[in-house]
Amino acid sequence: MMLVEADGKALLRAVGIPVPAGADAPGPWMVKAQVPVGGRGLAGGVVRCASRAEVEAATRRIVGSRIKGHTVDAVLVEQAVGGQERYLSVMVDPAGYGLRVMWSAQGGVEIETAGSTQTRLCPPHAAAVAEALADLIAEEPEAWRRQVADIGRALAELLIERELALAEINPLFVSAAGCIAGDAKIVVDLNAIERQQSIADLIAARPGVYADANRKLAEGFDYVELDPMGEIGLVTTGAGLSMMVIDEMTARGAKPLNFCDVRTGQMRGSPVRLMRVLEWIVAAPALKAVLVNIFAGITDLSEFAELLATAIDRTPALRVPVVARLVGRNAAEAKRILAERHPTLFVTEDLEEALARVTAL
């Protein structure tokens, strides 16, 4: 999961990598939307301001807007800095079982298409990354080469100690007066969070920005809100199948509200998890229907049907039609149970039929 820039910069600052001064410093300033996506500048989420009045106007304009599916609830205001732009990153290399260090003498937003980056694959040790980077920056002027090397080493140590997937500085401003991280793109590993308290604290401190991650950490399963004005709530299991259902529904012109992997195997006879999901779903203002999709390889669907019926009983605010597609172990018995307890529920074993039904509502 990607951190917003302000949190990424807090991690950089903590390991001694220089970042721009804050809003209290003299201008000009940058006002930057704090959403965990790339391309904020092109989406109007990054503005350079010459006066305090401009800062306030930009802040008012950006906060509350939506960028790539994320509602902006905060901006970072900091002193604008200058210098030549470079690109520096260290990341986990999945296929190479190591760390990949990347360097480019041209920083900026076009970096991914510019084709000017140079990379090295290293064993997972900071010393190896530092050695590889020294090679990549050999052409850099003496005036800042040493400081870039120090920043690279600190970045590698940060990645290893905090178990990050990616630590990227783009642009890294370089000049004889010093180097400063203009941006910070940090991707954390939520699977390591139990032993990374400082990352857990950052996530807990922003319940709005990291709503999906906080929900996952608190509840033990995945629920991602896709569109607050979504019309179809999903109670689904399996990450891949849930994504596919969302893709197919969207292709048919429907507006799914959420992604979800409820993990029926972890419910252990309690309807609480289903009640939580239904509670979030019924809070959506544009809700039209709920689709339940469970492919039960191991889970006994008759047990699941009882839990679902109970969860619906205990969610009085649920007033939209529910379509349940249940296939696998004991599907017939599940259908009988639901027909008895909730006769208005539409139950089928066929996903195509369920999708057609729910998108027609």
Partner 1 sequence: MIGSLSRETPVIVQGITGRMGRTHAALMRAYGTNIVGGTSARTDVREAAGVPVFATCSDAVLATGATVSVAMAPPHETLAAVREALAAGIKLVVTVAEGVPMHDAIRIGRETRRAGALWIGASTPGMAIPGEIKLGFLPDVCLRPGPLAIMTKSGTLSYEVGYRLAEIGLGQSLWVGVGGDPVKGVRFADLLPVFLADERTRGIVLVGEVGGTEEEDCAEAYARLGAGKPLYALIAGREAKEGVSMGHAGALVHGESGTLASKQARLRQVGARVFDSLDAITRACGQDFHALKTAR
- Give the three-state DSSP class for 223: strand
Site string for partner 1, 105-144 (x = CB under 8 A): -------xx---------xx--------------------
Q: Are 246 and 230 in contact, with CB atoms under 8 Å apart?
A: no
Alpha carbon distances (Å) from 34 to 85, 183, 261:
22, 11, 27
Q: Which one among 66, 73, 328, 357 touches partner 1, defined by CB under 8 A? A: 328
Question: Rounded CA gap, 40 and 65, in Å?
Answer: 12
171 is a contact residue toward partner 1 (CB under 8 A): no
Handedness of CA 29, 35, 36, 42 (dihedral sign): negative
Interaction of residue 39 with partner 1, rule CB under 8 A = yes
CA distance linking residue 87 with residue 112, whole number of Å: 10
Structure tokens at 250: 């969207």
Closer CB to partner 1, 124 or 321, in the complex: 124
Query: By CB under 8 A, which span of 9-17, 78-86, 135-143, 292-300 interacts with partner 1?
Result: 292-300
| Maximal CA-CA distance, the chain | 79
Helix (H) or strand (E) holding 324: strand 322-328
Q: How far apart are CA 121 and CA 340, in angstroms?
A: 60
Structure tokens given for 164: 């990050």
Number of amino acids touching partner 1 (CB under 8 A): 61
Cα atoms found within 13 Å of the Cα of residue 160, Cβ hemisphere only? 19
Among the listed residues 57, 128, 149, 243, the single contact to partner 1 using CB under 8 A: 243
Q: Looking at beta carbons only, is 53 or 95 nearer to partner 1? A: 95
Stretch that binds partner 1, among 30-38, 58-66, 278-286, 303-311 (CB under 8 A): 30-38
- Which of 89, 147, 237, 315 touches partner 1 by CB under 8 A? 237
Q: Does 43 bind partner 1 (CB under 8 A)?
A: no
Q: Which residues form the interface with partner 1 (CB under 8 A)?
A: 1-2, 35-39, 68-70, 92, 94-95, 97-98, 112-113, 123-124, 160, 163, 165-166, 185, 187, 189-192, 194-195, 212-213, 222, 224, 226, 237-244, 246-248, 250-251, 256, 259, 261, 295-298, 327-329, 351-352
